[in-house]
Structure 1
């Protein structure tokens, strides 16, 4: 038992260390080693959260890929790679717990709400660079709120660890998009976060998400 627990802690620690690169919008992906991990029980809510977040992180990645092709802005080039690492982190937990999942081609989603968001975001983001950056901010805004809901709903320490790291990265991404919006002379108004929550994030410095 002690050997398995130690191995699990080592793997999860490595995962968190890899996730710190998300927050700096790096191009490196984490190394997810899932062997000999001591699993905890997952509730139905936990399973649904993992499946949903896999597609929501895919929503971010796919949208940023599209907008990067449209505008060639650094934010999209850098953050789309971080979103792939977000997906890898969630996928590693799905594999760890033996949960069936499916990753559809770019721009396609099983969840209709996310499909509708994607269709809306690529249309909005194609109008102008400012609109594109606001789409990025809106996605991170949504991601932070959804992750917070999942964090409150779970007692599973694996999910708490990974979702907290993803949320930290999303806050840094939001700051990056808002900075770009303001540099172009516009402002972003939060769509999902409360004004207080949004202002708290924007007024804070870039985070190291350990």
Structure 2
């Protein structure tokens, strides 16, 4: 089956415990504009996205897990004065967008989003348990976030092993890296309070490798850097006809599918880079 929506590979805005910086990278590009299209990018060119090979149940569960993460971090942000919760919540919303777009490639219907309500009983139970930690204290909220990111990393790895198409695997790999950044940020914040986080899902060696990965974050300052962005590119093909730009990891778009973007070019999105 075909869809007129091209897959946007997402690398969400990553959150870092202070201090590290956020770089401007190839990422969220500009929307369509009415400029005349170049001869090498005809308006009538159509490229269908590859349907995701994830099973429907797994895809729905993945979308709801990202929704639950967003709900949890929004609740933590409303209760505790730690800006990182808001930033992670925004990233989780972008994670959800990426997975919803995967669902669109296979015409998968998703349940309506409702905070705190999920079709999976296990997910609902996890949300309830983590919310108890969030309501307990700011430290509890940080621990809840760390446990959630561990869970997310495990589940995204399982999904990558299930998927057989490269676009889906690339999206899932980007989301896994983002969860690693979140986990590193949360545990560094706990460490700054004299608390050593003990992993509960990942093996100790695996956990150590995740949070030690170069670039697993530190600050929120803006600065130059290569970002990995969610983008509708900013380049030579104007999306004024049946063509929507697809932006892979480096923010370079390829025209076309639905008239929502402009082709080959780097976006102007916000990316995050490490190794400060």
Q: Same fold (TM over 0.5)?
A: yes
Q: Shift in Å at residue 67 of structure 1?
A: 0.8
User: Is the 8 Å Cα contact of residues 30 and 85 (structure 1) preserved in structure 2?
Assistant: no
Q: Distance in 2 between matches of 1:139 and 1:30?
A: 26
* Alignment of 1:172 onto 2:181: yes
Q: Distance in 1 between matches of 2:75 and 2:52?
A: 38
Question: Hey, what does 1:153 align to over in structure 2?
Answer: 162
Q: Distance in 2 between matches of 1:144 and 1:204?
A: 14
TM-score after normalising by structure 1: 0.83
Q: Shift in Å at residue 46 of structure 1?
A: 2.7
Quick one: higher RCO (CA 8 Å, sep 6+), 1 or 2? Answer: 2
Matched residue SS, 1:20: coil
Aligned mate of 1:109, from 84, 109, 118: 118
Aligned mate of 1:39, from 50, 54, 57: 50
User: Is the 8 Å Cα contact of residues 51 and 105 (structure 2) preserved in structure 1?
Assistant: no
Q: Shift in Å at residue 193 of structure 1?
A: 0.7
Which of the two has greater strand per residue? 2
Structure 1: 5+ residue stretches without partners = none
TM-score after normalising by structure 2: 0.64
* Alignment of 1:48 onto 2:57: yes
* Alignment of 1:85 onto 2:78: no
Question: Hey, what does 2:192 align to over in structure 1?
Answer: 183
Q: Distance in 2 between matches of 1:41 and 1:52?
A: 14
Q: Distance in 1 between matches of 2:67 and 2:143?
A: 18
Name the stretch that deviates more: 121-130 or 200-209: 200-209
User: Is the 8 Å Cα contact of residues 15 and 185 (structure 2) preserved in structure 1?
Assistant: no
Q: Distance in 1 between matches of 2:130 and 2:12?
A: 26
The Cα RMSD (Å) is: 2.6
Structure 2: 5+ residue stretches without partners = 17-21, 33-45, 217-226, 229-248, 250-276
Q: Distance in 2 between matches of 1:191 and 1:147?
A: 16
Residue 21 to residue 38, structure 1, CA distance change in 2 (3 Å):
closer
Which of the two has greater helix per residue? 1
CA-to-aligned-CA distance 1:73-125 (integer Å, 9 cap, x gap):
12211000000000000001111210111133111111110101111111111
Q: Shift in Å at residue 204 of structure 1?
A: 1.9
Give the structure with higher Rg (CA): 2
Residue 203 to residue 164, structure 1, CA distance change in 2 (3 Å):
same
Structure-to-structure mapping, 1:1-210, within 5 angstroms? 11-12=6-7, 15-16=8-9, 19-24=10-15, 36-40=47-51, 42=53, 46-206=55-215, 210=249
Q: Distance in 2 between matches of 1:121 and 1:194?
A: 20
Q: Distance in 2 between matches of 1:134 and 1:41?
A: 33
Q: Distance in 2 between matches of 1:69 and 1:40?
A: 38
